[in-house]
Structure 1
Amino acid sequence: MSISIAHLGPSGTYAEAAAVAYANWLIQKKGQQSFLCPYPSIAQTLQAAATGQVDLAVVPVENSLEGSVTMTLDTLWRLDTLQVQQALVLPISHALLSCAGSLEAIETVYSHPQALAQCQEWLDKFLPSVQLVPMNSTTEALGYLETDSTAGAISSLRAAQLYNLPILASPINDYPCNHTRFWVLSLQPSPGGDRTSLAFSVPANVPGALAKPLQVFAERNINLSRIESRPTKRSLGEYLFFIDLEAEANEPLVKSALTELADHAETLKIFGCYSILNIDS
């Protein structure tokens, strides 16, 4: 029986590339067949997995240039049911696609906000006067290009091949070492691994409210590879904290740290314990 994998669509997105890479890994390592299911937004991708419409969801969680993907974090906190099965790290190389005859002819550039931000210095240098239009994905606007010769889109080389679109410039990301970490999530229990991800809120915005939860890891020499704050959306100045641990959740020291953390937190959510798979291309 094939596994269904949700991802941000349409075809040609980096999320689809990550989903394809994971599907290939499933075949090689487990002999498991799968098929892809594109969704129009990250939130809908996660919702599909949370409600059982699909078996897995592949979503971006962090980029090496622009940091965390806030839509992913906010939706995971809200859904409260999905567990991380695997992390995938994918190299990202952006290209400017357009039917324009030259850069000078471009008046508007479309793409996902993360892609626009990852190419901001290049855009300021070569297209300083263009209008930047954020979209739900890096491929959503590609249909505009054939009918508007003044439009461009930041997308992938794979998307250019899929949609048979000209490439005006590549690569255009501001830094060559550009990687995005994706999470593979499902309703199944997390399989275990050397990374643990969690989030918590604190009871009140008072001195030491964050220091005490973090101290439980420092006292046990548990390294935090990432910490990110997000607003609770209840009141200005109230935050949630997302943390990645370089540790296995079932280790005795980690288990005791999480037990103590729960005493300091208003709400604690464990998103899973998993391993990281690096994708070469």
Structure 2
Amino acid sequence: MSDTTGKPLESMRARIDRLDKELVDLLNARAQVSLEVGRHKAENNAPIYMPFREREVMNKIAHGNPGPLPEKHLRAIYKEIMSSSRRLQRPERTVYLGPEGTFSYFAALAHMGHSQYLTPKANFEEIFRAVADEGAELGVIPLENSLEGTVGQVADLFMKYPVYIQGEIYNRISHCLMSKSGDMASVKSVLSHPQPLEQCREWLDANLPGIPRRTTDSTAAAAETASDDDTVAIVGNERLAEMYGLNLLGQRIEDHPDNWTRFLVIAPSPCREDERDKTSLLFTIPDSPGALARILNTLAGSGINMTKLESRPVRGEKWKYVFFTDLECDLTKAEYESMLNTLREQCHTLRVLGTYPSARTDGGEQ
């Protein structure tokens, strides 16, 4: 490299080195304050995870960003800064539907950051039990998919375990075809969880006609199998390729690209932040004409918008149903106290599952 090109580059690198030193100093100063916050929270028995405060910080930083750093990059950086801050304040364990590499794992990682202590669980009940009885501070569970609908078992488990919703995550679901060999012609079978196989059925029919498809408990389990067998291709998240040493054969192969999954963040206690804008309820109704209509009229009369209402059979009771609903309000505010008491009178049972900050349905920040 000539002097005319080398000296300006050396000068720019020197400036970057100085800026990096300043950034490290500032990050450590911020970490010191986080430690002080952690001690204050411990003395006052306050929660570490505060989703509304985190959303507020992220939005304030993004709105004050003059560029040229893209907002998406800035949010990704601060996601990890806040993850580190939580870990410094007090290590928390978050449980999710494992193994590592599932869509639940990637949702937890994207929301909580890489510094979060993530622990896989084999099924939904193990997640609820870990949060309710075994000391896990948080759990991440899939509630519903924009194509497949609601995971009914979740409502059953909310009835069984005293846990609360503290946040929600919307993640776009995109699938890739991967194999060890990287050669489509060598594929003799396709392996994945039943849902990804169904969501990519048309693409697989067109590109791998006649190739048998087999199901596994998770996309991660499929990737582990494919890592030892050149003839097996799997359908799953593209990041599985790096995790298991696979090659990409096809990207975005889902038949319907607008595919989203809503995940809930659950905890053993309710959200204690002052600002919350969404409430989820679980209720049963008396066996009488107009019972559900009366409840809906009570909500409508208070100007509350209902964004979700779904019924689920009550286990062990024939023809009895439990209803899961989302409301666009903080139902614990004093202004709703009288209306909430009316709801309790109208319902056979009613449980407030949580009041929490809402997330954007396109996966972005509010």
State the TM-score, normalized to the length of structure 2: 0.67
Structure 2 match to 1:198:
281
**Larger C-alpha radius of gyration, 1 or 2?**
2
**Identical columns (%):** 34
- Please report how far the alpha carbon of residue 191 of structure 1 lies from its aligned counterpart in structure 2 after TM superposition: 3.1
In the alignment, structure 1 residue 170 sits paired with structure 2 residue 251: yes
Give me the whole-angstrom Cα distance separating, in 2, the residues matched to 1:140 and 1:212: 47
Tell me if the contact between 2:189 and 2:214 (Cα under 8 Å) persists in the aligned partners.
no
Tell me if the contact between 1:220 and 1:253 (Cα under 8 Å) persists in the aligned partners.
no
In the alignment, structure 1 residue 5 sits paired with structure 2 residue 94: yes
Which has the bigger relative contact order, CA under 8 A and spacing at least 6? 1
Q: Give runs of aligned pairs for residues 1-281 of structure 1, distance below 5 A.
A: 1-24=90-113, 34-79=116-161, 81-99=162-180, 101-102=183-184, 105-111=187-193, 113-127=194-208, 129-191=210-272, 193-204=276-287, 206-277=288-359, 279=363
Give me the whole-angstrom Cα distance separating, in 2, the residues matched to 1:143 and 1:122: 23
Task: Specify every segment of 5 or more residues in structure 2 that has no aligned partner in the other structure, as ranges.
Answer: 1-89
- Please report how far the alpha carbon of residue 78 of structure 1 lies from its aligned counterpart in structure 2 after TM superposition: 1.9
- Please report how far the alpha carbon of residue 217 of structure 1 lies from its aligned counterpart in structure 2 after TM superposition: 0.7
Moved more, 45-54 or 223-232: 45-54
Task: Specify every segment of 5 or more residues in structure 1 that has no aligned partner in the other structure, as ranges.
Answer: 28-32
Give me the whole-angstrom Cα distance separating, in 2, the residues matched to 1:183 and 1:218: 25
Give me the whole-angstrom Cα distance separating, in 2, the residues matched to 1:96 and 1:257: 51
* Matched residue count: 271
Return closer, same or farther for 1:234/1:146 CA change in 2, 3 Å cut-off. Answer: same
State the TM-score, normalized to the length of structure 1: 0.85
Higher helix share: 2
Tell me if the contact between 1:108 and 1:152 (Cα under 8 Å) persists in the aligned partners.
yes
Tell me if the contact between 2:313 and 2:321 (Cα under 8 Å) persists in the aligned partners.
yes
- Please report how far the alpha carbon of residue 270 of structure 1 lies from its aligned counterpart in structure 2 after TM superposition: 1.1
- Please report how far the alpha carbon of residue 151 of structure 1 lies from its aligned counterpart in structure 2 after TM superposition: 3.2
Tell me if the contact between 1:95 and 1:170 (Cα under 8 Å) persists in the aligned partners.
yes
Tell me if the contact between 1:85 and 1:274 (Cα under 8 Å) persists in the aligned partners.
yes
Return closer, same or farther for 1:130/1:236 CA change in 2, 3 Å cut-off. Answer: farther
Return closer, same or farther for 1:216/1:187 CA change in 2, 3 Å cut-off. Answer: same
Higher strand share: 1
